[in-house]
A and B are shown apart, each in its own frame.
Chain A
Amino acid sequence: MTTIQARFQLDYGDFKLDVDLKLPGTGITVLFGHSGSGKTTLLRCIAGLQRAPQGFLEINGNTWQDSERDLFLPTYKRPLGYVFQEANLFPHLTVRDNLHYGLKRIKHNSGTVKLEQTLELLGIGHLLERMPGHLSGGERQRVAIARALALNPEVLLMDEPLASLDFKRKQEILPFLSRLHQQLDIPVLYVTHSQQEVAQLADTLVIMEDGRALASGPLSETQSRLDVPLAQDREAATVWQATVAEHEADYHLTRVAFAGGSLSLPAVDAEIGTPLRVQIYARDVSIALEAPTATSILNVLPATITGIADGRDGQSVIRLQVGDQALLAHITRKSALLLGLQIGMAVYAQIKGTSLLN
């Protein structure tokens, strides 16, 4: 289901943006890349804050820009919510007036109920009478998120909302964003250069470099693309979305199910059916040709090799398919050679460790 179509071409001489993306109409799509990769420019083009001379943008069947027809909807006419890197609250208005600024300007006023919910979700109900100058960075950013959401937008655009915060504040806001993720039914486009935020939030991942989209698609599939530098990274990992299936209290373990299999994790304090994200680092995955009979490793999953590439420092990067999920393994080139690994081979992936993200 594609509901966002974005095609932009822009040339500033030393920087060019050239993308043609189809993005899903639900969940969080993370635009990931280093600074200067064009991810923020892309977001600003979608918001209409910048105007790409060549561009086509369609959201939910509504055309916001079409340079062929000389159509360009100004930002204030686009039903979007935007969260800036710096919260960008109006310094002359209280938190309450900041929240109501946009609300007063939309015609259908279904927003009031929404605002109540958002205040609760973001935990800012007690800040309403304060001026922005008297808020902490984390509080300001939460107010900014609420201000954007209060409009009941058709799409939420977030430009590195955590980048200006210190580690502690980030940890304070990430859970809010994860919770938002589960409760929002609109698409979110989220710009970041942090792999941690990708792992915790993304459903869909777009990797940007030099003004182009190198890859885009479902998270684990895109994370494990061998033609993208991310897979070579020492911190390379794949994130699986799973649900709690069974608690094994005696062993202090929890089984989680994903499309096509299940994993054992250290006990998780959550009800059966709770969705969660499991991150598996490529360096924690090893490969066996036969099902190991005597091993201490609990998670041994049948897999098929779908790709092999050279990694850095004598490593091989192996891409595996496990059920419906993609998985990356970093093994030594020598092991890959000795095992005679080839694309299409059926093998067993041994997962030494997992980390739970939420």
Chain B
Amino acid sequence: MLNAADIATLWLTFKVAGIATLLMLLFGTPLAWWLARTTSRWKSICNALVSLPLVLPPTVLGFYLLVLMGPAGAIGKFTAWLGLGTLPFTFPGLVVASVLYSLPFVVQPLQASFTSIGEQPLEAAATLRAGPLDTFFSVIVPLAKPGFLTASILGFTHTVGEFGVVLMVGGNIPDKTRVVSVQIYNHVEALEYTEAHWLAGILMLFSFSVLMVLYTVLKTQPVAHPLK
């Protein structure tokens, strides 16, 4: 069965994923909105940057983050100047890395959703006295609901499943940065296959059920969604 250390890693994993998902929605929504509507020449560069984690080995991203956030890196110097110390091998560092790593999984479904909504509902809302922010919450958010659902679930599950970036940036510190995927690696290294089986099984079951729920819900949505 699961021992106390295993349960602690599970708890930590879900905490990282939860906080990271909230942050990604917070920053990803305006970013996706901008990407969906802008004609700026920066659009392609931003699209490419956001999508990088999809194709890069997580170790590459983790390596750069480690360097940047370390005592000699630009971000590290900045956080030190703020009196926050440096981020590598800390819980906040893990969250920052997770946000950057999983961002495309949040931005892309949102961007597709926003694009498919088009100009028409926005114009209708404007002729009905709704200002921009009002329109966003009363029209865009409800119409993009499938996009938000997809973004949240993919962002969360993808963060739960990360390994390479975590190992590079977070390390393997119990209760601080040791997440489930790292713990499974530890068990396997120690030839504790039973424990590895339990944790791997839980992740497998979790991810499958959540995705299953997502696709079932999306099928019932009346509005077009990015995965259909």
Give residues of chain A (60-111) contacting chain B, Cβ–Cβ below 8 Å: 74-77, 80-82, 84, 86, 88-92, 101-102, 105-106
B120 adjacent to A88 (CB under 8 Å): yes
Give residues of chain A (28-51) contacting chain B, Cβ–Cβ below 8 Å: 47-49
Closest chain A residue, CB of each to CB of B128: A102
Q: A105-B130, A105-B134 are in contact. Are A84 and B123 (CB under 8 A)?
A: yes
Nearest-Cβ distance from residue A284 to partner chain B, whole angstroms: 42
The answer to whether the Cβ of A133 comes within 8 Å of any Cβ in the partner chain is yes
A-side contacts of B123, CB under 8 Å: 49, 75, 82, 84, 88
Nearest-Cβ distance from residue B78 to partner chain A, whole angstroms: 39
Q: How far is the CA of A82 from the CA of B129 in the complex (A)?
A: 11
- SS class, residues of chain B in contact with chain A: helix
Q: How far is the CA of A90 from the CA of B223 in the complex (A)?
A: 11
A133 adjacent to B222 (CB under 8 Å): yes
The answer to whether the Cβ of B124 comes within 8 Å of any Cβ in the partner chain is yes
B139 adjacent to A76 (CB under 8 Å): no
A81 adjacent to B129 (CB under 8 Å): no
Give residues of chain A (128-162) contacting chain B, Cβ–Cβ below 8 Å: 131, 133, 147-148, 151
Total residues of chain A contacting the partner, CB 8 A? 26
| CB < 8 Å neighbour of B126 from A76, A86, A147, A148 | A76
Q: How far is the CA of A77 from the CA of B134 in the complex (A)?
A: 13
A105 adjacent to B129 (CB under 8 Å): yes
A-side contacts of B142, CB under 8 Å: 92
A76 adjacent to B120 (CB under 8 Å): no
B121 adjacent to A151 (CB under 8 Å): no
| CB < 8 Å neighbour of A148 from B127, B131, B143, B222 | B127
Of A48, A81, A82, most B-chain CB atoms within 10 Å: A82
A84 adjacent to B126 (CB under 8 Å): no
Q: How far is the CA of A57 from the CA of B127 in the complex (A)?
A: 17
A86 adjacent to B129 (CB under 8 Å): no
Nearest-Cβ distance from residue A153 to partner chain B, whole angstroms: 9
Nearest-Cβ distance from residue A159 to partner chain B, whole angstroms: 10
B124 adjacent to A90 (CB under 8 Å): yes
Q: How far is the CA of A75 from the CA of B119 in the complex (A)?
A: 14
Nearest-Cβ distance from residue A76 to partner chain B, whole angstroms: 5
Give residues of chain B (109-127) contacting chain A, Cβ–Cβ below 8 Å: 120-121, 123-127
Q: How far is the CA of A106 from the CA of B126 in the complex (A)?
A: 12
B129 adjacent to A106 (CB under 8 Å): yes
Q: A92-B143, A92-B223, A133-B222 are in contact. Are A76 and B131 (CB under 8 A)?
A: yes
| CB < 8 Å neighbour of A82 from B127, B134, B143 | B127
Q: A91-B222, A92-B143, A133-B222 are in contact. Are A84 and B130 (CB under 8 A)?
A: no
A88 adjacent to B121 (CB under 8 Å): yes
B-side contacts of A131, CB under 8 Å: 222
Q: How far is the CA of A151 from the CA of B134 in the complex (A)?
A: 17
Nearest-Cβ distance from residue A84 to partner chain B, whole angstroms: 7
Q: How far is the CA of A81 from the CA of B128 in the complex (A)?
A: 7
Interface string of B209-222 (1 = CB under 8 A from A): 00000000000001
B223 adjacent to A91 (CB under 8 Å): yes
Nearest-Cβ distance from residue B155 to partner chain A, whole angstroms: 23
B129 adjacent to A76 (CB under 8 Å): yes
B-side contacts of A77, CB under 8 Å: 129
Nearest-Cβ distance from residue B44 to partner chain A, whole angstroms: 24
Closest chain B residue, CB of each to CB of A48: B126
A84 adjacent to B143 (CB under 8 Å): no
Interface string of B118-159 (1 = CB under 8 A from A): 001101111111110010001100110000000000000000
Q: Can you list 9 pairs linking A and B with CB atoms under 8 Å apart?
A: A47-B127, A76-B126, A76-B128, A77-B129, A92-B142, A101-B130, A105-B134, A133-B222, A148-B127
Q: Measuring CB to CB, which residues of chain A are less than 8 angstroms from any residue of chain B? A: 47-49, 74-77, 80-82, 84, 86, 88-92, 101-102, 105-106, 131, 133, 147-148, 151
Q: Assuming A75-B126, A105-B128, A131-B222, what are 18 further A-B pairs, CB within 8 angstroms?
A: A49-B126, A74-B131, A75-B127, A76-B128, A76-B130, A82-B124, A82-B127, A84-B120, A86-B120, A88-B123, A90-B121, A90-B125, A91-B143, A92-B143, A92-B223, A101-B128, A105-B129, A148-B127
Q: What 7 pairs across the A-B complex have the smallest Cβ distances?
A: A102-B128, A82-B127, A75-B126, A105-B129, A88-B124, A92-B142, A76-B126
